[in-house]
Amino acid sequence: MSRFRFIHAADIHLGSMLHIDGAEEGMLADHCRKAVYKAFERLCQKAVEYQVKFILISGDLYDRESRNVYANRLFADMCRKLDEKGIGVFVAAGNHDPLMESQELFALTPNVHICKAGSPSVFEVTDDGRVIARVIGQSYNAPGVRDRIYREFNLPGDGIFNIAMLHTQLEASGNYIPSTVSDLMNVPNIHYWALGHIHKPGILNKRKPVIAYSGTPQGRDFGEEGPGGCFLVEVDGTEITGMKRIITSSVMFRTINIDISSDELKNAEDLTTLEAYIVDKANQVALGLTGTAAVEPPADADAYLSKVYEGLNEPDDFMAIEGCAVRWLLSGRGNLHRVLRNLDDGGVADITQALRSKLESLRPFIWTDSVVIRTSSPLTDQTLAEHATLRKLLEQSVGELFSDESKARQLKSGLGLVWQGSGDHEARVEDRFFLDDDTFRSVIEDACQLILEKISEKAGD
Ligand SMILES: [Mn+2]
Protein backbone atom coordinates (compact mmCIF):
# COMPACT_ATOMS: atom_id res chain seq x y z
CA MET A 1 0.00 0.00 0.00
CA SER A 2 1.13 3.56 -0.54
CA ARG A 3 1.97 5.85 2.32
CA PHE A 4 1.92 9.60 1.93
CA ARG A 5 1.30 12.83 3.77
CA PHE A 6 -0.65 15.92 2.85
CA ILE A 7 -1.44 19.29 4.37
CA HIS A 8 -5.00 20.56 4.70
CA ALA A 9 -5.23 24.34 4.89
CA ALA A 10 -7.94 26.93 4.24
CA ASP A 11 -8.86 30.57 4.84
CA ILE A 12 -5.37 31.90 4.34
CA HIS A 13 -6.75 35.32 3.28
CA LEU A 14 -3.58 36.56 1.57
CA GLY A 15 -3.84 40.32 1.27
CA SER A 16 -5.43 40.90 4.67
CA MET A 17 -3.93 42.44 7.79
CA LEU A 18 -4.11 41.91 11.53
CA HIS A 19 -6.22 44.29 13.58
CA ILE A 20 -4.42 45.27 16.76
CA ASP A 21 -5.22 48.40 18.67
CA GLY A 22 -2.38 50.93 18.89
CA ALA A 23 -0.31 49.10 16.25
CA GLU A 24 -0.39 51.81 13.62
CA GLU A 25 3.35 52.22 13.47
CA GLY A 26 6.67 50.64 14.37
CA MET A 27 7.52 46.98 14.77
CA LEU A 28 3.93 45.99 15.42
CA ALA A 29 2.62 47.64 12.25
CA ASP A 30 5.11 45.50 10.37
CA HIS A 31 3.81 42.36 12.08
CA CYS A 32 0.24 43.36 11.21
CA ARG A 33 1.11 43.75 7.52
CA LYS A 34 3.24 40.64 7.15
CA ALA A 35 1.81 37.97 9.47
CA VAL A 36 -0.67 36.48 6.98
CA TYR A 37 2.05 36.15 4.33
CA LYS A 38 4.51 34.72 6.84
CA ALA A 39 2.01 32.06 7.89
CA PHE A 40 1.62 30.93 4.28
CA GLU A 41 5.39 30.82 3.78
CA ARG A 42 5.77 28.77 6.95
CA LEU A 43 3.03 26.42 5.79
CA CYS A 44 4.92 25.80 2.53
CA GLN A 45 8.20 25.39 4.40
CA LYS A 46 6.56 22.77 6.66
CA ALA A 47 5.22 20.99 3.56
CA VAL A 48 8.81 20.62 2.36
CA GLU A 49 10.13 19.58 5.80
CA TYR A 50 7.44 16.92 6.21
CA GLN A 51 7.84 15.83 2.59
CA VAL A 52 4.13 16.00 1.91
CA LYS A 53 2.77 14.88 -1.44
CA PHE A 54 0.41 17.86 -1.77
CA ILE A 55 -1.28 20.82 -0.07
CA LEU A 56 -5.04 21.42 -0.12
CA ILE A 57 -6.42 24.95 0.13
CA SER A 58 -10.17 24.74 0.75
CA GLY A 59 -11.20 28.28 -0.12
CA ASP A 60 -10.33 31.89 0.70
CA LEU A 61 -6.70 31.65 -0.36
CA TYR A 62 -7.08 35.38 -1.09
CA ASP A 63 -8.94 37.89 1.01
CA ARG A 64 -10.62 39.51 -1.97
CA GLU A 65 -11.86 38.61 -5.38
CA SER A 66 -9.69 41.42 -6.76
CA ARG A 67 -6.26 39.84 -6.39
CA ASN A 68 -3.35 41.96 -5.22
CA VAL A 69 0.05 41.88 -6.88
CA TYR A 70 2.08 41.12 -3.78
CA ALA A 71 -0.23 38.27 -2.71
CA ASN A 72 -0.31 36.80 -6.22
CA ARG A 73 3.44 36.97 -6.58
CA LEU A 74 4.01 35.30 -3.20
CA PHE A 75 1.59 32.50 -4.08
CA ALA A 76 3.23 31.92 -7.48
CA ASP A 77 6.74 32.01 -5.92
CA MET A 78 5.88 29.57 -3.15
CA CYS A 79 4.18 27.22 -5.61
CA ARG A 80 7.29 27.23 -7.76
CA LYS A 81 9.38 26.20 -4.75
CA LEU A 82 6.90 23.43 -3.98
CA ASP A 83 7.00 22.32 -7.61
CA GLU A 84 10.75 21.88 -7.38
CA LYS A 85 10.14 19.45 -4.51
CA GLY A 86 7.38 17.61 -6.36
CA ILE A 87 4.64 18.90 -4.07
CA GLY A 88 1.19 19.50 -5.60
CA VAL A 89 -1.19 22.34 -4.67
CA PHE A 90 -4.97 21.99 -4.96
CA VAL A 91 -7.08 25.11 -4.62
CA ALA A 92 -10.83 25.67 -4.43
CA ALA A 93 -11.97 29.31 -4.44
CA GLY A 94 -14.23 30.38 -1.55
CA ASN A 95 -16.69 33.18 -0.89
CA HIS A 96 -13.91 35.76 -0.44
CA ASP A 97 -12.05 34.90 -3.62
CA PRO A 98 -14.68 33.53 -6.05
CA LEU A 99 -13.56 32.74 -9.57
CA MET A 100 -15.23 35.49 -11.55
CA GLU A 101 -13.50 37.87 -13.91
CA SER A 102 -10.42 37.77 -11.78
CA GLN A 103 -7.45 35.58 -12.39
CA GLU A 104 -3.91 35.02 -11.24
CA LEU A 105 -1.56 37.80 -12.35
CA PHE A 106 1.49 35.55 -12.60
CA ALA A 107 1.99 32.28 -14.44
CA LEU A 108 1.61 29.30 -12.15
CA THR A 109 3.75 26.18 -12.21
CA PRO A 110 2.11 22.91 -13.38
CA ASN A 111 1.84 21.54 -9.82
CA VAL A 112 -1.01 24.00 -9.11
CA HIS A 113 -4.56 22.77 -9.75
CA ILE A 114 -7.47 25.16 -9.32
CA CYS A 115 -10.99 23.72 -9.15
CA LYS A 116 -13.46 24.99 -11.74
CA ALA A 117 -16.65 26.78 -10.77
CA GLY A 118 -20.01 25.41 -11.93
CA SER A 119 -19.19 21.72 -11.70
CA PRO A 120 -16.80 19.59 -9.65
CA SER A 121 -13.17 19.11 -10.71
CA VAL A 122 -11.45 15.80 -10.04
CA PHE A 123 -7.66 15.47 -9.86
CA GLU A 124 -5.57 12.35 -9.54
CA VAL A 125 -2.41 12.26 -7.48
CA THR A 126 0.14 9.79 -8.73
CA ASP A 127 3.29 8.24 -7.35
CA ASP A 128 5.57 6.49 -9.83
CA GLY A 129 2.73 6.55 -12.34
CA ARG A 130 0.31 4.87 -9.93
CA VAL A 131 -2.79 6.73 -8.67
CA ILE A 132 -2.61 7.03 -4.86
CA ALA A 133 -5.27 9.67 -4.18
CA ARG A 134 -8.04 11.70 -5.78
CA VAL A 135 -9.06 15.24 -4.91
CA ILE A 136 -12.53 16.55 -5.77
CA GLY A 137 -13.70 20.14 -5.29
CA GLN A 138 -15.57 23.04 -6.81
CA SER A 139 -14.84 26.76 -6.69
CA TYR A 140 -17.32 29.49 -5.76
CA ASN A 141 -18.29 31.63 -8.75
CA ALA A 142 -20.00 34.25 -6.57
CA PRO A 143 -19.69 35.47 -2.96
CA GLY A 144 -22.38 32.93 -2.06
CA VAL A 145 -23.28 29.47 -3.33
CA ARG A 146 -26.61 28.03 -2.21
CA ASP A 147 -26.41 24.75 -4.13
CA ARG A 148 -25.56 21.52 -2.37
CA ILE A 149 -22.71 20.95 -4.77
CA TYR A 150 -21.27 18.01 -2.76
CA ARG A 151 -24.19 15.87 -3.97
CA GLU A 152 -22.35 15.72 -7.30
CA PHE A 153 -19.11 14.60 -5.70
CA ASN A 154 -19.11 11.14 -7.29
CA LEU A 155 -15.91 9.17 -6.83
CA PRO A 156 -15.43 5.42 -7.20
CA GLY A 157 -14.80 3.16 -4.20
CA ASP A 158 -11.83 1.33 -5.63
CA GLY A 159 -9.26 1.36 -2.85
CA ILE A 160 -7.92 4.83 -3.74
CA PHE A 161 -7.86 7.51 -1.01
CA ASN A 162 -10.54 10.10 -1.92
CA ILE A 163 -10.48 13.67 -0.60
CA ALA A 164 -13.25 16.25 -0.96
CA MET A 165 -12.61 19.98 -0.54
CA LEU A 166 -15.60 22.07 0.52
CA HIS A 167 -15.92 25.70 1.63
CA THR A 168 -19.03 25.56 3.77
CA GLN A 169 -20.61 27.13 6.84
CA LEU A 170 -21.94 23.65 7.68
CA GLU A 171 -25.45 24.96 8.26
CA ALA A 172 -28.63 23.40 6.91
CA SER A 173 -29.41 26.57 4.93
CA GLY A 174 -27.72 29.81 3.88
CA ASN A 175 -25.25 31.28 1.41
CA TYR A 176 -22.23 29.09 1.97
CA ILE A 177 -23.09 25.66 0.53
CA PRO A 178 -25.78 24.38 2.89
CA SER A 179 -24.68 21.10 4.46
CA THR A 180 -24.66 19.10 7.68
CA VAL A 181 -22.20 16.54 9.02
CA SER A 182 -24.64 13.77 8.13
CA ASP A 183 -25.09 15.14 4.57
CA LEU A 184 -21.34 14.82 4.12
CA MET A 185 -21.23 11.38 5.76
CA ASN A 186 -23.80 10.27 3.21
CA VAL A 187 -21.61 11.11 0.22
CA PRO A 188 -20.12 7.71 -0.65
CA ASN A 189 -16.43 6.82 -0.98
CA ILE A 190 -14.91 9.96 0.58
CA HIS A 191 -12.14 9.33 3.12
CA TYR A 192 -11.33 12.90 4.11
CA TRP A 193 -13.41 16.09 3.99
CA ALA A 194 -11.07 19.09 3.88
CA LEU A 195 -13.40 21.90 4.94
CA GLY A 196 -12.88 25.65 4.87
CA HIS A 197 -14.84 28.81 5.80
CA ILE A 198 -14.97 28.43 9.61
CA HIS A 199 -11.70 29.95 10.83
CA LYS A 200 -11.51 27.89 14.01
CA PRO A 201 -9.98 24.43 13.65
CA GLY A 202 -12.05 21.39 14.46
CA ILE A 203 -12.40 17.69 13.72
CA LEU A 204 -16.12 17.07 13.35
CA ASN A 205 -15.88 13.38 12.58
CA LYS A 206 -12.85 11.33 13.55
CA ARG A 207 -13.20 8.28 11.39
CA LYS A 208 -14.38 7.14 8.01
CA PRO A 209 -14.68 9.78 6.77
CA VAL A 210 -12.65 12.30 8.75
CA ILE A 211 -14.41 15.67 8.50
CA ALA A 212 -12.23 18.60 9.54
CA TYR A 213 -11.87 22.37 9.44
CA SER A 214 -8.20 23.31 9.36
CA GLY A 215 -8.93 26.83 10.64
CA THR A 216 -7.00 29.87 9.49
CA PRO A 217 -3.16 29.76 9.45
CA GLN A 218 -3.04 33.23 11.04
CA GLY A 219 -5.79 34.76 13.18
CA ARG A 220 -6.41 38.40 12.33
CA ASP A 221 -8.39 39.69 15.29
CA PHE A 222 -9.84 38.69 18.65
CA GLY A 223 -12.53 36.71 16.89
CA GLU A 224 -9.72 34.35 15.83
CA GLU A 225 -7.84 33.74 19.07
CA GLY A 226 -5.21 31.09 19.72
CA PRO A 227 -2.48 29.68 17.50
CA GLY A 228 -3.33 29.47 13.79
CA GLY A 229 -2.27 26.52 11.70
CA CYS A 230 -3.10 23.69 9.34
CA PHE A 231 -3.48 19.92 9.54
CA LEU A 232 -0.80 17.46 8.58
CA VAL A 233 -2.40 14.14 7.63
CA GLU A 234 -0.65 10.83 7.13
CA VAL A 235 -2.26 8.16 4.97
CA ASP A 236 -1.56 4.49 4.42
CA GLY A 237 -3.65 3.15 1.54
CA THR A 238 -7.16 4.33 2.45
CA GLU A 239 -6.46 4.60 6.20
CA ILE A 240 -5.54 7.76 8.03
CA THR A 241 -2.69 6.75 10.31
CA GLY A 242 -1.78 10.12 11.76
CA MET A 243 -3.03 13.64 12.02
CA LYS A 244 -1.74 16.67 13.86
CA ARG A 245 -1.85 20.39 13.77
CA ILE A 246 1.10 22.48 12.63
CA ILE A 247 1.27 25.99 14.08
CA THR A 248 1.95 28.61 11.43
CA SER A 249 0.94 31.92 13.03
CA SER A 250 3.61 34.38 14.11
CA VAL A 251 1.24 36.55 16.13
CA MET A 252 -1.39 35.15 18.45
CA PHE A 253 -4.47 36.89 19.80
CA ARG A 254 -5.36 36.09 23.39
CA THR A 255 -7.88 37.29 25.93
CA ILE A 256 -6.37 36.80 29.39
CA ASN A 257 -8.60 36.89 32.41
CA ILE A 258 -7.43 38.85 35.45
CA ASP A 259 -9.61 37.88 38.40
CA ILE A 260 -9.63 40.60 41.06
CA SER A 261 -11.01 38.12 43.60
CA SER A 262 -7.91 35.91 43.24
CA ASP A 263 -5.63 35.45 46.27
CA GLU A 264 -3.03 37.83 44.83
CA LEU A 265 -5.49 40.63 44.14
CA LYS A 266 -8.33 40.29 46.62
CA ASN A 267 -6.75 42.70 49.09
CA ALA A 268 -5.46 45.13 46.46
CA GLU A 269 -6.95 48.59 46.51
CA ASP A 270 -4.82 50.53 44.04
CA LEU A 271 -3.74 50.41 40.41
CA THR A 272 -0.06 50.02 41.32
CA THR A 273 -0.71 46.48 42.57
CA LEU A 274 -2.95 45.69 39.62
CA GLU A 275 -0.45 46.87 36.99
CA ALA A 276 2.39 44.99 38.68
CA TYR A 277 0.28 41.85 38.67
CA ILE A 278 -0.50 42.20 34.96
CA VAL A 279 3.16 42.83 34.11
CA ASP A 280 4.07 39.66 36.01
CA LYS A 281 1.37 37.73 34.14
CA ALA A 282 2.67 39.06 30.81
CA ASN A 283 6.17 37.83 31.66
CA GLN A 284 4.78 34.36 32.34
CA VAL A 285 2.92 34.35 29.03
CA ALA A 286 6.07 35.39 27.16
CA LEU A 287 8.08 32.68 28.90
CA GLY A 288 5.44 30.14 27.92
CA LEU A 289 5.94 31.05 24.28
CA THR A 290 9.65 30.30 24.32
CA GLY A 291 9.37 26.66 25.42
CA THR A 292 8.49 23.78 23.12
CA ALA A 293 4.71 23.38 23.11
CA ALA A 294 4.63 25.30 26.37
CA VAL A 295 1.66 27.43 25.41
CA GLU A 296 -1.49 26.36 27.21
CA PRO A 297 -3.59 24.70 24.55
CA PRO A 298 -7.04 26.22 24.03
CA ALA A 299 -9.70 24.71 26.30
CA ASP A 300 -11.11 22.60 23.49
CA ALA A 301 -7.74 21.32 22.27
CA ASP A 302 -8.98 17.75 22.32
CA ALA A 303 -11.55 18.64 19.74
CA TYR A 304 -8.86 19.11 17.14
CA LEU A 305 -5.66 17.58 18.41
CA SER A 306 -7.20 14.19 18.40
CA LYS A 307 -5.56 11.49 20.46
CA VAL A 308 -7.05 8.95 18.08
CA TYR A 309 -4.20 9.53 15.69
CA GLU A 310 -0.84 8.52 17.03
CA GLY A 311 1.12 8.43 13.79
CA LEU A 312 2.54 11.94 13.89
CA ASN A 313 2.78 12.86 17.50
CA GLU A 314 6.20 14.41 17.83
CA PRO A 315 5.66 17.69 19.66
CA ASP A 316 5.29 20.59 17.32
CA ASP A 317 6.96 23.81 18.30
CA PHE A 318 5.47 27.18 18.92
CA MET A 319 8.67 28.88 17.88
CA ALA A 320 6.89 30.53 14.98
CA ILE A 321 5.05 32.72 17.46
CA GLU A 322 6.85 36.02 17.82
CA GLY A 323 4.34 37.60 20.15
CA CYS A 324 0.83 38.04 21.41
CA ALA A 325 -1.77 40.75 21.19
CA VAL A 326 -3.52 40.58 24.53
CA ARG A 327 -6.85 41.78 25.77
CA TRP A 328 -6.71 41.92 29.57
CA LEU A 329 -10.16 41.07 30.83
CA LEU A 330 -10.56 42.26 34.41
CA SER A 331 -13.29 40.29 36.15
CA GLY A 332 -14.49 39.02 39.52
CA ARG A 333 -15.71 40.68 42.72
CA GLY A 334 -13.19 42.59 44.78
CA ASN A 335 -12.16 45.85 46.37
CA LEU A 336 -10.41 46.96 43.19
CA HIS A 337 -13.83 47.34 41.63
CA ARG A 338 -14.29 50.55 43.58
CA VAL A 339 -11.31 52.07 41.73
CA LEU A 340 -12.01 50.48 38.36
CA ARG A 341 -15.66 51.38 38.00
CA ASN A 342 -14.92 55.08 38.35
CA LEU A 343 -12.43 55.09 35.49
CA ASP A 344 -13.55 56.93 32.40
CA ASP A 345 -12.31 56.06 28.88
CA GLY A 346 -9.27 58.27 29.42
CA GLY A 347 -8.34 56.40 32.58
CA VAL A 348 -8.58 53.03 30.86
CA ALA A 349 -6.53 54.38 27.93
CA ASP A 350 -3.87 55.54 30.37
CA ILE A 351 -3.57 52.09 31.98
CA THR A 352 -3.42 50.53 28.50
CA GLN A 353 -0.61 52.91 27.51
CA ALA A 354 1.30 52.27 30.75
CA LEU A 355 1.14 48.51 30.22
CA ARG A 356 2.38 48.91 26.64
CA SER A 357 5.46 50.82 27.74
CA LYS A 358 6.18 48.62 30.77
CA LEU A 359 6.17 45.55 28.52
CA GLU A 360 7.95 47.16 25.60
CA SER A 361 11.19 45.20 25.87
CA LEU A 362 9.62 41.78 26.41
CA ARG A 363 10.34 39.08 23.78
CA PRO A 364 8.28 37.33 22.51
CA PHE A 365 6.35 40.61 22.56
CA ILE A 366 3.21 40.96 24.64
CA TRP A 367 1.25 43.91 23.30
CA THR A 368 -1.68 45.26 25.27
CA ASP A 369 -4.44 45.67 22.72
CA SER A 370 -6.94 46.72 25.34
CA VAL A 371 -8.03 46.52 28.95
CA VAL A 372 -11.65 45.51 29.46
CA ILE A 373 -13.31 46.01 32.83
CA ARG A 374 -16.00 43.52 33.84
CA THR A 375 -15.53 43.54 37.60
CA SER A 376 -18.22 43.77 40.23
CA SER A 377 -18.57 44.90 43.79
CA PRO A 378 -17.99 42.50 46.69
CA LEU A 379 -20.92 44.16 48.44
CA THR A 380 -23.62 42.89 46.12
CA ASP A 381 -23.66 39.32 47.47
CA GLN A 382 -24.16 40.65 50.95
CA THR A 383 -27.00 42.91 49.83
CA LEU A 384 -28.75 40.00 48.17
CA ALA A 385 -28.40 37.90 51.31
CA GLU A 386 -29.86 40.67 53.44
CA HIS A 387 -32.80 41.54 51.22
CA ALA A 388 -34.87 38.44 50.51
CA THR A 389 -37.65 40.33 48.71
CA LEU A 390 -35.24 42.11 46.41
CA ARG A 391 -33.52 38.83 45.59
CA LYS A 392 -36.85 37.19 44.74
CA LEU A 393 -37.92 40.12 42.57
CA LEU A 394 -34.66 40.12 40.60
CA GLU A 395 -34.68 36.37 40.13
CA GLN A 396 -38.27 36.46 38.93
CA SER A 397 -37.75 39.33 36.45
CA VAL A 398 -34.57 37.88 35.05
CA GLY A 399 -36.13 34.41 34.83
CA GLU A 400 -39.03 35.81 32.81
CA LEU A 401 -36.70 37.50 30.34
CA PHE A 402 -35.12 34.15 29.53
CA SER A 403 -38.30 32.06 29.50
CA ASP A 404 -40.84 34.49 28.00
CA GLU A 405 -40.01 35.26 24.37
CA SER A 406 -42.35 38.29 24.18
CA LYS A 407 -40.79 39.92 27.27
CA ALA A 408 -37.32 39.37 25.82
CA ARG A 409 -38.39 40.89 22.50
CA GLN A 410 -39.87 43.91 24.29
CA LEU A 411 -36.60 44.50 26.14
CA LYS A 412 -34.48 44.02 23.02
CA SER A 413 -36.59 46.54 21.06
CA GLY A 414 -35.77 49.13 23.73
CA LEU A 415 -32.01 48.60 23.58
CA GLY A 416 -31.50 50.90 20.63
CA LEU A 417 -30.43 50.79 16.99
CA VAL A 418 -26.88 49.73 17.73
CA TRP A 419 -28.09 46.21 18.55
CA GLN A 420 -29.72 45.55 15.20
CA GLY A 421 -26.78 43.79 13.56
CA SER A 422 -26.78 40.42 11.85
CA GLY A 423 -25.37 37.18 13.30
CA ASP A 424 -23.79 36.32 9.94
CA HIS A 425 -20.18 37.49 10.27
CA GLU A 426 -19.91 37.90 6.50
CA ALA A 427 -22.84 40.36 6.52
CA ARG A 428 -21.52 42.41 9.42
CA VAL A 429 -22.29 46.14 9.43
CA GLU A 430 -19.62 48.35 11.02
CA ASP A 431 -21.78 50.29 13.48
CA ARG A 432 -24.19 47.53 14.46
CA PHE A 433 -23.79 44.72 16.97
CA PHE A 434 -25.52 41.39 16.97
CA LEU A 435 -27.31 40.63 20.23
CA ASP A 436 -26.64 36.91 20.57
CA ASP A 437 -27.84 34.94 23.61
CA ASP A 438 -24.57 35.39 25.53
CA THR A 439 -24.51 39.13 24.97
CA PHE A 440 -28.18 39.43 25.93
CA ARG A 441 -27.44 37.52 29.13
CA SER A 442 -24.45 39.71 29.99
CA VAL A 443 -26.43 42.93 29.38
CA ILE A 444 -29.03 41.70 31.88
CA GLU A 445 -26.40 40.56 34.37
CA ASP A 446 -24.67 43.95 34.15
CA ALA A 447 -28.00 45.69 34.77
CA CYS A 448 -28.62 43.51 37.86
CA GLN A 449 -25.15 44.29 39.16
CA LEU A 450 -25.74 47.99 38.70
CA ILE A 451 -29.05 47.86 40.58
CA LEU A 452 -27.45 45.92 43.42
CA GLU A 453 -24.50 48.26 43.63
CA LYS A 454 -26.75 51.30 43.83
CA ILE A 455 -28.77 49.65 46.59
CA SER A 456 -25.61 48.56 48.46
CA GLU A 457 -24.33 52.12 48.39
CA LYS A 458 -27.60 53.49 49.69
CA ALA A 459 -27.60 50.89 52.47
CA GLY A 460 -24.07 51.90 53.39
CA ASP A 461 -24.90 55.63 53.58
MN1 LIG B 1 -12.53 32.68 5.21
Distance of CA 360 to the CA centre of its chain: 26
Q: What does the pLDDT look like over 159-176, one tens digit per residue?
A: 999 999 999 999 888 889
Q: Where are the domains of the chain?
A: 3-247, 250-376, 387-461
Distance 56 CA to ligand 1 centre (A): 15
Bridge partner residues of 124 (DSSP): 134
Whether the pLDDT of residue 300 is over 70: the answer is: no
Rounded to the nearest angstrom, the distance between the alpha carbon of 13 and the centre of ligand 1 is: 7
Distance 303 CA to ligand 1 centre (A): 20
Confidence of residue 315 (pLDDT cuts 50, 70, 90): very low
The H-or-E segment that residue 303 falls in is: helix 301-304
Condensed to tens digits (0 to 9), the pLDDT of residues 362-412 reads 999 999 999 999 998 887 777 888 888 888 888 888 888 888 888 888 888
Over residues 260-286, the pLDDT tens digits come to 999 999 999 999 999 999 999 999 988
Helix (H, G, I), strand (E, B) or coil at 205: strand
Give the range among 45-54, 61-70, 104-113, 366-375 with minimum mean pLDDT. 61-70
If you measure from the C-alpha of residue 29 to the centroid of ligand 1, how many angstroms do you get, rounded to a whole number?
22
Q: Is the pLDDT of residue 67 over 80?
A: no
Treating both helix axes as pointing N-terminal to C-terminal, what angle do 437-460 and 388-403 enclose, rounded to 10 degrees?
170
Gap from CA of 98 to ligand 1 centroid (Å): 11
| Cα–ligand 1 centroid distance for 194 (angstroms) | 14
Centroid of ligand 1 to alpha carbon of 96 (angstroms): 7
In the reported structure, the alpha carbon of residue 199 is separated from the centroid of ligand 1 by a whole-number distance in angstroms of 6
Count CB atoms within 10 A of the CB of residue 372. 13
Report the chain's mean pLDDT, rounded to a whole number: 87
CB atoms within 10 A of CB 154: 11
Lowest mean pLDDT among 179-188, 221-230, 292-301, 388-397: 292-301
Q: What is the whole-number distance in angstroms between the Cα of residue 12 and the centre of ligand 1? A: 7
Dist. CA 290 → ligand 1 center (Å):
29
**8 Å CB contact between 374 and 330:** yes
Q: pLDDT, tens digit, for every residue of 210-256?
A: 999 999 999 999 999 988 999 999 999 999 888 888 889 999 999 99
Whole-number Å distance, alpha carbon 444 to ligand 1 midpoint, is: 33
For residue 320, name the pLDDT band (cuts at 50, 70, 90). confident
pLDDT digits (tens, 9 = 90+) for 336-360: 999 998 999 999 999 999 999 999 9
Q: How far is the CA of 88 from the centre of ligand 1 (A)?
A: 22
Q: What is the DSSP string of 5-36?
A: EEEEE----BT-----TT-SSHHHHHHHHHHH
**What is the rounded distance in angstroms from the CA atom of residue 210 to the CA atom of residue 240?**
8
CA 248 to centroid of ligand 1, rounded, Å: 16
322 alpha carbon – ligand 1 mean position (Å): 23
Q: Does residue 295 have a pLDDT over 60? A: no
CA of 11 to the centre of ligand 1 (A): 4
Residue 200 pairs with which residues in a beta bridge?
none
Rounded CA-CA distance 365/322 in Å is: 7
The CA angle 249-102-64, to the nearest 5 degrees, is 35
Q: How far is CA 191 from the centre of its chain?
A: 25
> Which amino acid is it at 397?
S
Distance from the alpha carbon of residue 149 to the mean position of ligand 1, in angstroms: 18
- Identify the three-state secondary structure at position 50: coil
Q: Which fold has domain 3-247?
A: Purple Acid Phosphatase; chain A, domain 2 (3.60.21)
Please report, to the nearest 10 degrees, the dihedral formed by the alpha carbons of residues 285, 289, 294, 298 taken in order.
Answer: 70
b/e per residue, 427-457, with b = 16+ CB within 10 A? eeeeeeeebeeeebeebbeeebbeebbebbe
Which residues, chain by chain, have CB under 5 Å from ion ligand 1?
11, 60
Query: How far away, in angstroms, is 263 Cα from ligand 1 center?
Result: 42
Q: β-pairing, 54-58 with 239-247?
A: unpaired
Using the mean position of ligand 1's atoms as its centre, give its distance from the Cα of residue 68 in Å: 17
CA of 221 to the centre of ligand 1 (A): 13
- CA of 219 from ligand 1 middle (Å) equals 11
Q: 53 CA to middle of ligand 1, Å?
A: 24
Q: Please name every residue paired with 244 in a beta bridge, in sequence order, or none if there are none.
A: 232
Q: 109: CA distance to ligand 1 center in Å? A: 25
